[in-house]
Chain A
Amino acid sequence: MSPLLELQGVSVAIAHAQLLDGISLRLDRGQILGLVGESGSGKSLTAMAAMGLLPLIGGRVTTGAIRFDGQDMVQMTEAQRRALRGRRIGFITQNPMTALDPVQRIGAQIDVVSRLHLGLSSAAARARTLELMTQLRIPEAGAVAEAWPHQLSGGMKQRIVIAMALAGEPDLIIADEPTTALDVTVQAQIIQILAALVRDRGLALLLITHDMGVVAQVCDRVAVLYAGRLAEERPVDPIFAAPAHPYTRALTLCIPRDDTARGALHGIPGAVPTALNYPSGCRFHPRCPKAVSACSATQPALVAYGEDGRVACHLPGPGAP
């Protein structure tokens, strides 16, 4: 079976800055792919590319293919891409506080998706909206549908955004940091809802997050981005047990666990470079504890690693530096 979403060597530029460089990803139905990396690594840009929304931010795909269900979105007309958005691909943004149109009632914002893509009448669309809201455990769905966005809490708004993403009966959901702006206890609720959607409906979920905890708990596979390039892409268990790329390893060591001893927390020295000053060779080499001269000279190729995994590193594999 071909993957539902496949990125093959996708490069993206905004103006003259090459911000993504040869990203390749695969996501099957019923799976959750976690996309992680520090800010500035290109996570959100990847999401915008997969949504076909790059023109909104002045970007374009320069090389590569983005295949959704076998068809290359890069080669499609804008109308064809638009027919996919909302219908087969749902989108969840980071900040639910700003994601809804503040001057339109909640219900109408969800209705429009099923009316547009499923051709439902307004009454049928509203019935479907209420059903979705109830499934997402929104209390008093009828009243909430008539409410204005500012009357809802952050967690409730994020559920509305999820309902909007589900209204077109999509196969794929792309969620860009869906919990970052929420309180801790509400984050857990939203993640649980998303995980249940994949389990119960057989959706595919591209989950962009900086939270390695969320990744460890719900993802099937993990793709690690660094400075616009893919560092490592593997199933979740081995990547946490034995990270192949030093960057992945560094990311897991940043977060305190219950058993982390005082002083055992390690930051990554320096900061993510911007597109204007990407280093030569492996872009991580100035911050890498294992770097050797080859790392600054040549860009490591993305090669197969372990079981069903790929890594781009001259010195892959576990082992402390």
Chain B
Amino acid sequence: MLAYAIRRSLMLVPVFLAVSVIIFLILHFIPGDPIDNLLKVGSSPTARAEIEARYGLDKPLPVQYLIWLGNVLTGDLGTAIVARRPVIDLIGQALPHSLALGGLALAFSSIVGITLGVIAALNRDRWPDRAIMGGVLVGSTMPSFWLGLMMMLAFSVWLGWFPVSGARGWSSLVLPVLTIGLGGTALVTRITRVSMIEVAQKDFVTLLHAKGLSPLRIQLRHVLRHALIPVVTILALRIGWILGGAVTVEVVFARPGLGTLLIKALAQHDYPVVQASLLMLAMAVMIGTLLGDLLQAAMDPRVRAALA
């Protein structure tokens, strides 16, 4: 298991390099020159060249990449062109907010989703199943920004339970977490339900019944354990979804975070900030898939055997 964990972690290195190249390149396709923002109207070409040199924009692309990569690996994410501050500071300010939001939303989707999925599967084709699956369908079809605004309208404006926006205190997290979490919950509920139902039809479950074990014990100790394997896989693979949800929801609720940072930087063509926020999001996705694979291996001896 340890050997596998090490090997699996090493596999992130080429993936990281590939992602970094893509992120680096994408940014060079974005039209709009940030330098224009820095120059006063009518500045001389020399002033322009000076600024280009300061940000290393005059060198060939591969060299720019290597310099950038080297800096990134040593923790230097560059200086924000518009904000004129080290990018690492901006990221450092944004990251805790996004992590709190993403982590809570992930926890919410997993706990609520698995619970609802189990209840739905145990009551297959009866009213609790239909009610849950109906609710899940409705929940997953609303655009998250709209859902966020509507909840804001209902709970903050009309009922006054939570602050409308901002990031002060725990209560400001409730609506954003709910908004992101509902989409994730829908996904987790669906997968949990389908996979519980599928596993329950397997031969070994029949044999567990034949051993005289109680149905509830079979469902919770055996069937659920198997059903969670695909749930973990999907959750890990789609950790990005949750972060993606965070991007829009942060903007809607005017919360500081990677999403707000990214959207603002995109609008301002602030390369270093965009690069750094994308890199952070990409790393979160990679760590998510790594954790998912490791969890899966921990849960299933067959996976470990196939990888040994």
Whether A and B touch (Cβ < 8 Å) is answered with: yes
Cα separation A168 to B213 with both chains bound (whole Å): 12
In contact, B302 and A117 (Cβ under 8 angstroms): no
Interface presence of B22 (CB below 8 A): no
Contact digits for B203-217, partner A, Cβ 8 Å, 1 yes 0 no: 110111111111000
In the bound complex, residues from chain B placing their C-beta under 8 Å from that of A93 are 203, 206-207, 210
In contact, A150 and B302 (Cβ under 8 angstroms): yes
In the bound complex, residues from chain A placing their C-beta under 8 Å from that of B211 are 85-86, 91, 112-113, 116, 164, 168
Interface presence of A103 (CB below 8 A): yes
The binding surface of chain B is classed by DSSP as helix
In contact, B204 and A84 (Cβ under 8 angstroms): no
Q: How distant is A214 from chain B, measured CB to nearest CB, in Å?
A: 21
Cα separation A52 to B130 with both chains bound (whole Å): 29
Which residues in chain A, 134-173, are within 8 Å of chain B measured between CB atoms?
A: 148, 150-151, 161, 164, 168
Interface presence of B305 (CB below 8 A): yes
In the bound complex, residues from chain B placing their C-beta under 8 Å from that of A83 are 212
In contact, A117 and B299 (Cβ under 8 angstroms): no
In the bound complex, residues from chain A placing their C-beta under 8 Å from that of B209 are 53, 56, 85
Interface presence of B168 (CB below 8 A): no
Interface presence of A102 (CB below 8 A): yes
In the bound complex, residues from chain A placing their C-beta under 8 Å from that of B202 are 98
Chain A, residue nearest B208 (CB): A101
In contact, B300 and A98 (Cβ under 8 angstroms): no
Q: How distant is A252 from chain B, measured CB to nearest CB, in Å?
A: 30
Number of interface residues of A (CB under 8 A): 31
Contact digits for A180-200, partner B, Cβ 8 Å, 1 yes 0 no: 000000000000000000000
Q: Which of B208, B212, B214, B301 is close to A102, meaning CB atoms less than 8 Å apart?
A: B301
Given A95-B203, A98-B202, A103-B300, verify A51-B305 contact (CB < 8 Å).
no
In the bound complex, residues from chain A placing their C-beta under 8 Å from that of B222 are 101, 104
Count chain A CB atoms within 10 A of each CB in B202, B212, B301 and give the residue with the most. B212
Given A116-B211, A151-B305, verify A103-B299 contact (CB < 8 Å).
yes
Q: How distant is A166 from chain B, measured CB to nearest CB, in Å?
A: 12
Given A82-B214, A84-B212, A85-B212, verify A56-B302 contact (CB < 8 Å).
no
In contact, B305 and A150 (Cβ under 8 angstroms): yes
Contact digits for A95-135, partner B, Cβ 8 Å, 1 yes 0 no: 10011111110000000110011000000000000000000
Interface presence of A245 (CB below 8 A): no
Q: Which of A53, A102, A112 is close to B300, meaning CB atoms less than 8 Å apart?
A: A102
Q: Which of B204, B225, B226, B305 is close to A99, meaning CB atoms less than 8 Å apart?
A: B204
Q: Which of A56, A94, A148 is close to B305, meaning CB atoms less than 8 Å apart?
A: A148
Given A98-B202, A116-B213, verify A91-B301 contact (CB < 8 Å).
no
Which residues in chain A, 51-107, are within 8 Å of chain B measured between CB atoms?
A: 51, 53, 56, 82-87, 90-91, 93-95, 98-104
User: Which A residues contact B (CB, under 8 angstroms)?
Assistant: 51, 53, 56, 82-87, 90-91, 93-95, 98-104, 112-113, 116-117, 148, 150-151, 161, 164, 168
Q: Which 10 A-B pairs have the closest CB atoms?
A: A86-B212, A91-B210, A98-B203, A85-B212, A86-B211, A148-B301, A101-B204, A150-B302, A82-B212, A99-B207
| A-B contact list, 7 entries, CB within 8 Å | A87-B212, A98-B204, A101-B204, A103-B226, A148-B305, A151-B305, A168-B211
In the complex, given contacts A85-B209, A91-B207, A148-B301, what are 19 additional A-B residue pairs having Cβ atoms less than 8 angstroms apart? A53-B209, A83-B212, A85-B212, A86-B210, A86-B212, A86-B213, A90-B210, A91-B210, A91-B211, A94-B203, A99-B204, A100-B207, A101-B222, A102-B226, A102-B301, A103-B225, A103-B299, A164-B207, A168-B211
